[in-house]
Amino acid sequence: MTASMASIYDLVGDLVVYRDLDPVDSRLPRFSESWPLMGLAGPQTPRKIEPAYAQALAWQLRQMRALDAPGAAIEELVFIGDNLSSDGSAFRNLRAAGDWRGWAFIGADRRDPPAAEETAGITTANRWTALAPFLAGLLYGGAALDTRTAVVLDIDKTAIGARGRNDAVIDAARIAAIEATVADALGSDFDQQRFREAYATLNVARYHPFTADNQDNVAYICLMLGAGVSSLDELTRDIQDGSLATFKDFMAQVEAGRQHLPSAGLQALHDDIYAYVRAADPTPFKAFRRREYRETVARMGCLPDDAPVEDMLTQEVCMTREVLDAAVWLRGRGCLLAALSDKPAEATMPTPDLIARGFLPLHRAPAHVVGPAIRDLLDADAAAMA
């Protein structure tokens, strides 16, 4: 079988918003220009699960709708994601901020028998194919699914790298980026086993209050543990007994002993990251994130079109066919489609030197499309409602 190729751009164009809340589409204003119009208290970029983020995104969705459907007001929201905690919170906040009626689909492929459960407008399903009955149910329930509808597609582990099917490749790209960045910084002092133990220990929900669930912070901590600032056992003990309450506490500890870092290069890297943290930049470890971009796009569309699907799912970041089919079908009905990712710009956009070498933004990078087709099911449901 020959696999087809597609990109996020094929679904939403440049109507993509990353962590910095700057829409990729140049027709839309930057966050730094528009935050007063959004009614926000200040220019600091909120995080995805915060109400202020939803307030900003609701304003941006209205601007997006005005680009191709002037005069059309958004009245309802459909959110398609993979994580009940973060995507569910973002959906609830966005629905409230827009004062829209709305529904969310949180999908994953799991070994359990097919099942879907709806609570307060959020449907969780253990098959991505459940998108078809989910959308059919919205139609039967009276949803417009037309120019009055804003559809938000989560990118990571939803539109690409489907959770439960292909998400491990996205994780592998990120881990490879952290490991390579740390190895470059430590040189001959890099201990791969020590790094992997630290990363596996700290990259879990138990330590989210300390790491702020931020991969930049986890990467920095692993770097400094590798540099001998502390041992993993000492760090986890200090976290547990409250000696270190937050990531900033750890960074302040490193800053106090900066002169003991083993090389001038490592001191300079610490200084760079520390400056970004003090400036409240949520993406302080720029070198790691730029490496993450390279590692991710290198895993998109890299195999031959006739490669076995099993190889694609374990070696490539693939487009999720069910999400693609649903997006194309919704766009055909006149819905506004936009894509959302909590990845920072450094992990999604090529630097000028990479652009000169032909690299594309993450949302424009083609990927093989893998998964069961649901377009016929959607067309049949729509015809039944006509």
For 21-55, what is each residue's pLDDT tens digit? 999 999 999 999 999 999 999 999 998 999 999 99
What is the DSSP code string of 19-31?
A: TT--BSSTTS--H
Three-class SS of residue 196? helix
Identify which has the larger pLDDT, 282 or 321. 321
Give how far the C-alpha of residue 249 lies from the chain's centroid of Cα atoms, to the nearest Å: 27
Phi, psi of 24 (to 5 degrees): -65, -35
CB-CB neighbours of 278 under 10 Å? 12
CA dihedral 89, 92, 93, 94 (to 10 degrees): 120
Label residue 2 by pLDDT band (50, 70, 90): low
Q: Which of 127, 87, 85 is nearest to 104 (CA)?
A: 87
Label residue 379 by pLDDT band (50, 70, 90): confident
What's residue 377's pLDDT?
87
What's residue 385's pLDDT?
67
What's residue 280's pLDDT?
87
Single pTM value for the model: 0.94
Average pLDDT over residues 349-364: 97
What's residue 332's pLDDT?
96
